[in-house]
């Protein structure tokens, strides 16, 4: 059986603030939250985020499909150092099995390269790349004042 069976040791820490303590770590907030959300924008199931017309901000270039992107992510696995913990599997067919670390790798490395280059709209491509840069900076142990200003842009 799965799930939490007993109180977790975090509850005894002075820094423990309750339920938000667990949900606001960067891996889950940025990886599972933001990475998965960007994929949802691309999939746009049942046109939840708007019509799949050419003016949809996350439209893909002609001839490019989510399957193409997923296959490219999977092919990239051969060149990924073994120190990366993500699956690097086909995002078009395996997202149901993605963990937060998989979504974080997708967000930080696949989105600015494989995904962004296949978007129709320059504004969306620029916004996504800037968002990824902000995430990369925020995941560092320390940030300079200059880097904080980059994030705020």
| Distance between CA atoms of residues 57 and 76, nearest Å | 26
Q: What is the mean pLDDT of residues 1-14?
A: 72
The whole-number pLDDT of residue 20 equals 65
Is residue 74 within 8 A of residue 93, CB to CB? The reply is: no
Q: What is the dihedral of CA 130, 135, 140, 141, to 10 degrees?
A: 130
Tens digit of pLDDT for each residue in 92-148? 887 777 888 888 888 998 899 999 999 999 999 999 999 999 989 988 888 899 999
The C-alpha R_g of the chain, in whole angstroms, comes to 18
DSSP string, 88-140: ---HHHHGGG--HHHHHHIIIIIIIIIIGGGBS-HHHHHHHHHHHHHHHHHTS
Q: Has residue 36 got a pLDDT over 60?
A: yes
This prediction has a pTM of: 0.74
Burial class (CB in 10 A: 0-12, 13-18, 19+), 82: exposed
| Distance between CA atoms of residues 49 and 124, nearest Å | 14
The whole-number pLDDT of residue 22 equals 60
The whole-number pLDDT of residue 115 equals 93
Nearest to 107 by CA among 41, 59, 48, 38: 38
């Amino acid at each position: 059986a799965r799930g939490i069976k007993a109180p977790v040791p975090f509850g005894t820490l002075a820094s423990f603030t309750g339920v938000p303590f667990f949900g606001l770590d960067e891996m889950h907030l940025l990886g599972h939250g933001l990475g998965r959300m960007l994929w949802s924008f691309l999939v746009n199931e049942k046109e939840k985020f708007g019509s799949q017309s050419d003016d949809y901000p996350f439209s893909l270039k002609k001839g490019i499909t989510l399957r193409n992107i997923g296959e490219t992510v999977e092919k990239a696995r051969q060149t990924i150092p073994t120190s990366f913990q993500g699956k690097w599997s086909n995002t078009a067919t395996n997202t149901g099995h993605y963990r937060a670390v998989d979504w974080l790798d997708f967000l930080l490395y696949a989105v600015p390269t494989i995904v962004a280059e296949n978007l129709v709209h320059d504004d969306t491509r620029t916004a996504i790349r800037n968002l990824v840069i902000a995430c990369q900076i925020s995941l560092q142990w320390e940030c300079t004042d200059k880097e904080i200003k980059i994030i705020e842009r």
